């Protein structure tokens, strides 16, 4: 049994770890490992996002924003957090104009999220699950960690609410099941000592979660994510080489995952990047080394970094996170009331409100350099090598 202090440390480690992994990976999202190596050697510190989508060092993106929205939504209404989550997505959009790299206060969101939010904004009835996109992407998994924290000792509720919060944006059991897997990995971090992640019992827990999601959301059954997870666990049992495991993830996802086109292990497709994050978190036990490994894989580096940071932060605690990363994260110091709410499971509004918090962070863009041409040149030199 964890002491209160140890459990609080893991809640704080999870939330900070998610934001750190996101902020560290943002500048190299879409890059190849070779491009990262040529530019940085090994990326170990925050960098600004260059070019027209300039973003300051140490600032989280949509991954972190939506994770904070999930945490706030749960505290606002633990019985129906999906409704509050949908409202927060709309509020972030309505809080500001569309700008380069930002959509309201949303930073770096894709077309599927925009489609969902536009639907919610135009809706004539209160149904937060009416506009989920049939997508096998990792957008639900990247934000879901607070569900694993709040319901860390209540598996059926964890699985139920992970599914419903995911369903605000996703109506595909691959994306929803992947999110449930991350929530399960986070909640299992509160076992003492934490067990290995990639083991048969974990596959069984994800399978039970999928069945709950299928039934509560009345979706057609889809076992593909669970089957791919099971194959990964079998592979992991006989292999501890990361590159070989990632090759296997990509090969199986292309063969049976239902991807559109050829995908790599670091692709935003959930049966790729979520399994990659679980693999890195399982294979690399130290927080710092795990997050560095994750973001230097390139591809969807911010999301993989966020998931690995959340899982390893929950497993290792705030005390194992390097001070330079905590000091350089713009959100550090602004989320402790949210951590308290998640730890004590205390319902109520967050302070500062999410729109206020993100509005304050949005002012960092006033420091945007005027030498955008130089940033464009830098971007073309690095990303011109191709993207994952």
Residue 165 near residue 73, CB atoms below 8 Å = yes
Residue positions forming the annotated binding site for Mg(2+): 61-63, 300, 302-303
Dist CA 177 CA 128 (whole Å) = 19
- Of 102, 72, 89, nearest to 168 by C-alpha is 89
- Of 123, 143, 134, nearest to 81 by C-alpha is 143
Per the rule left: phi > 0, alpha: psi between -120 and 50, beta: everything else, 261 is left
Exposed (0-12), middle (13-18) or buried (19+): which is 114, by Cβ within 10 Å? middle
- What is the residue whose two structure tokens read 């070019």? 51
- Of 61, 104, 113, nearest to 86 by C-alpha is 113
Q: How far is CA 369 from the centre of its chain?
A: 29
Q: Tokens at residue 152, please?
A: 């860390």
Exposed (0-12), middle (13-18) or buried (19+): which is 311, by Cβ within 10 Å? buried
Residue positions forming the annotated binding site: 61-63, 300, 302-303
Q: Is the peptide bond before 169 cis (omega within 30 degrees of 0)?
A: no
Dist CA 140 CA 131 (whole Å) = 14
């Amino acid at each position: 049994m964890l002491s209160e202090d140890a459990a609080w440390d893991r809640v704080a480690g999870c939330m900070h770890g998610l934001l750190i992994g996101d902020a560290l990976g943002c500048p190299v999202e879409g890059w190849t490992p070779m491009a990262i190596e040529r530019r940085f050697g090994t990326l170990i510190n925050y960098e600004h996002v260059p070019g027209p989508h300039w973003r300051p060092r140490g600032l989280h993106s949509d991954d972190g924003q939506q994770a904070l929205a999930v945490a706030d939504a749960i505290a606002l209404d633990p019985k129906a957090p999906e409704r509050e989550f949908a409202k927060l997505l709309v509020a972030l959009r309505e809080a500001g104009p569309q700008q380069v790299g930002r959509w309201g206060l949303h930073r770096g969101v894709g077309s599927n999220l925009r489609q969902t939010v536009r639907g919610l904004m135009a809706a004539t009835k209160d149904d937060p699950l009416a506009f989920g996109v049939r997508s096998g992407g990792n957008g639900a998994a990247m934000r879901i960690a607070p569900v694993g924290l709040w319901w860390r000792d209540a598996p059926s509720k964890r699985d139920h609410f992970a599914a419903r919060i995911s369903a605000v944006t996703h109506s595909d059991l691959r994306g929803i099941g992947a999110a449930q897997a991350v929530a399960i990995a986070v909640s299992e971090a509160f076992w003492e000592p934490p067990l290995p992640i990639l083991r048969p019992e974990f596959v069984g827990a994800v399978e039970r979660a999928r069945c709950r999601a299928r039934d509560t959301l009345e979706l057609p059954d889809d076992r593909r994510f669970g089957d791919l997870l099971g194959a990964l666990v079998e592979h992991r049992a006989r292999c501890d080489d990361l590159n070989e495991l990632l090759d296997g993830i990509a090969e199986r996802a292309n063969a049976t995952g239902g991807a559109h086109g050829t995908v790599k292990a670091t692709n935003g497709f959930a049966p790729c990047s979520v399994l990659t994050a679980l693999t890195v978190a399982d294979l690399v036990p130290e927080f710092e080394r795990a997050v560095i490994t994750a973001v230097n894989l390139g591809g969807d580096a911010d999301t993989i970094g966020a998931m690995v940071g959340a899982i390893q932060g929950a497993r290792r605690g705030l005390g194992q996170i390097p001070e330079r990363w905590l000091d350089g994260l713009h959100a550090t110091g602004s989320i402790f009331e949210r951590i308290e709410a998640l730890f004590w499971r205390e319902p109520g509004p967050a302070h500062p409100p999410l729109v206020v918090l993100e509005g304050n962070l949005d002012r960092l863009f006033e420091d945007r350099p005027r030498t955008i041409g130089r940033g464009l040149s830098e971007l073309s030199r690095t990303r011109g090598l191709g993207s994952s």
